[in-house]
Amino acid sequence: QQQVKQSPQSLIVQKGGISIINCAYENTAFDYFPWYQQFPGKGPALLIAIRPDVSEKKEGRFTISFNKSAKQFSLHIMDSQPGDSATYFCAASEGGKSTFGDGTTLTVKP
Amino acid sequence: KAGVTQTPRYLIKTRGQQVTLSCSPISGHRSVSWYQQTPGQGLQFLFEYFSETQRNKGNFPGRFSGRQFSNSRSEMNVSTLELGDSALYLCASSYGTGLARGTEAFFGQGTRLTVV
């Protein structure tokens, strides 16, 4: 049973555009929702994270939107740049144990 | 400040053998978590250690084990290797009591294990 569903699997965006990646979860006990960015040959790096008592969090060009009732959260990358091309993972955590989405490969075309 | 160091970076083993992977967390970090990353299964949680105690465990067979030392360094062992164990094994360290407890976690570059 996949507890965190991530979509789309891949995304191509023009430079300057908005990239949107969505995740849905089932376990209402999840209490921490981070997003990770991974470049080839590197480990994932924490990008931004949110707790369920907040509906939105913004850090620079990256924004998480969180809908607790729908059990969904999304990552928005504004003014997408070629350097943002990477694989993005959402995760949901409960008590020290994290479940990851399958990842979204983002390509930003110049 | 040095990052999370995983050794070795690459490893080739034969089916049936065992392997030990090492992770040195960032200085001062007491929590280490291990993950398996494969193209088909994505990132899957293996286990988490804090102060030499295993705090959480994922759904992996008993062939996968780990430990943490008093200096917070951690090792992961896989016995009786199978072809399906081929993957990138990642460890992450954080100051707090786990990846999910609101403390920023830092991943190493991983150990690429190939089982032939």
pLDDT tens-place string over residues B53-103: 998 899 999 999 999 999 999 999 999 999 999 999 999 988 765 454 556
Half-sphere exposure of A38 (CA within 13 A, CB side): 26
By CB atoms closer than 10 A (0-12, 13-18, 19+), residue B27 is exposed
Per the prediction, chain B carries an average pLDDT of: 90
The pLDDT, as a whole number, for residue B1 is 60
Residue A94: predicted pLDDT: 78
Give residue for tokens 């150990």.
B111
Using CA coordinates, name the residue in chain B closest to A50: B102
pLDDT tens sequence for chain A (110 residues):
568 999 999 999 999 999 999 999 999 988 889 999 999 888 999 899 998 889 999 999 999 999 999 999 999 999 999 999 999 999 998 766 778 899 999 999 99
Mean pLDDT of B9-38: 95
Q: What is the pLDDT of residue B103?
A: 61
- If phi > 0 it is left, if psi is from -120 to 50 it is alpha, else beta; for residue B100 that is alpha
What residues of chain B lie within 8 A of the CB of A44, using their CB? 43, 90, 107
Q: Is A56 helix (H, G, I), strand (E, B) or coil?
A: strand
Closest residue in chain B to residue A33, using alpha carbons only = B100
B109 touches chain A (CB under 8 A): yes
- pLDDT of amino acid A99: 86
Q: Which two tokens stand for residue B33?
A: 């978590």
| Chain A contact probe: residue of B38, B43, B48, B95 with most A CBs at under 10 A | B43
Across B34-58, average pLDDT: 89
Nearest to B33 by CA among B80, B81, B101: B101
